[in-house]
Amino acid sequence: MPEKKTLSRARADKRAGKAPSTQAGEFVKEEIDHVRAGKHGVKSAKQAVAIGLSKARRAGVDLKPPKKGATSESTRKKAQKDREVGQTPAAARKSASKETTAKRSRTTTAVLKHDGKKSASRGALSAQAKSAAAKRPAASRSAAAKKAAATKGAAGRKAAAKKAAHTRAARAHH
């Protein structure tokens, strides 16, 4: 179950008109924090992201499942199921679904505990983000950046421009 603050942050993102992937980012962040805090480990940064996205879909974020061929069919099916769970009202869900047994819940956590925390390190996440971005065409990356700038707001753009100028100045000295 996601933490209350994660749910409220995701709702705030939705109210601000941000994309479902941005809303889901709150859940991914929570998952990475869990790994860093030692609640459980993950095999890879990718797994931490996958757990976060699954939680987001189940919490009602309208995140589409991956396209055919992008991932395995079983992953796509799981994403579709998670999304259906999240889109059905809580009352209907309660009557239709069985609660996860305590034993299954414990086992899942125990399995995750076997894996390390290194996968949620800055370096591991950076490598994951870079490899994921490299797979996308330049046009798609550019469009995402333009959209991000548009939803930032004047104050956000100003802050980003300042930070960029500062970074450029720092790099020029090296």
The whole-number mean pLDDT for each consecutive block of 10 residues of the chain, a chain of 174 residues, reads 94 93 96 94 94 96 92 94 89 67 88 89 94 94 88 89 95 82
Which pTM does this prediction carry?
0.77
Helix/strand/coil (H/E/C) assignment for every residue in 124-151: HHHHHHHHHHHCCCHHHHHHHHHHHHHH
pLDDT at res. 152: 84
Q: What is the pLDDT of residues 54-72, one digit of tens each?
A: 999 999 999 999 999 888 9
Compute the radius of gyration of the chain from its Cα atoms: 18
Predicted pLDDT of residue 29: 96
Looking at residue 96, its pLDDT comes to: 60
3-state secondary structure string, 33-90?
HHHHHCCCCCCCHHHHHHHHHHHHHHCCCCCCCCCECCECHHHHHHHHHHHHHHHCCH
Contact in structure between 59 and 86 (CB atoms under 8 Å):
yes
